């Protein structure tokens, strides 16, 4: 079965059709979280260096992440996860799929 290409906030991502069917309404890119919302990380589709940096900080699939605030100009967002507070650019946040909890 050929992969299905989805465009999430300007990022092109490849998913197998059964993966897309399994996603429900609560799965979204990290950029769609509103201030104060908490979600669990499902997958990360980032450049290798950015993904390694975030994994080293504790952002792994299954981790809870909360959007604390958006900077005044709209980018980056301030997120907390695993007792860590980090600023994540919207370009990187669009490659992180989360599920509301």
Tens of pLDDT, residues 40-99: 999 999 999 999 999 999 999 999 999 999 888 878 999 999 888 999 999 999 999 999
How far does the chain reach from its first CA to its final CA, in angstroms? 31
DSSP secondary structure code for residue 74 in this structure = S
CB neighbour burial string for 10-21, b if at least 16 within 10 angstroms, e if fewer: ebebebeeeeee
Q: How confident is the model at residue 5 (pLDDT cuts 50, 70, 90)?
A: very low
The CATH superfamily assigned to 24-100 is Ferrous iron transport protein A (FeoA) (2.30.30.90)
pLDDT in tens, 10-42: 444 544 444 544 555 678 999 999 988 999 999
The whole-model pTM stands at: 0.72
What are residue 82's phi and psi, to 5 degrees? 45, 45
Q: Residue 101 above 80 pLDDT?
A: yes
What pLDDT, on a 0 to 100 scale, did the predictor assign at position 25? 62
- Tell me how long the chain is: 101
CA distance 90 to 53: 16
Domain boundaries, the chain: 24-100
């Amino acid at each position: 079965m050929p992969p299905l290409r989805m465009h999430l906030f300007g990022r092109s991502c490849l998913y197998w059709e059964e993966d897309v069917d399994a996603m429900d309404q609560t799965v979204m890119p990290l950029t769609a979280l509103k201030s104060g919302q908490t979600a669990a990380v499902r997958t990360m589709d980032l450049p290798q260096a950015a993904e390694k940096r975030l994994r080293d900080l504790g952002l792994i699939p299954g981790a809870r992440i909360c959007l604390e605030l958006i900077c005044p100009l709209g980018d980056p967002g301030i997120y907390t996860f695993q007792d860590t507070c980090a600023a994540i650019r919207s370009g990187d946040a669009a490659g992180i799929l989360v599920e509301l909890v």
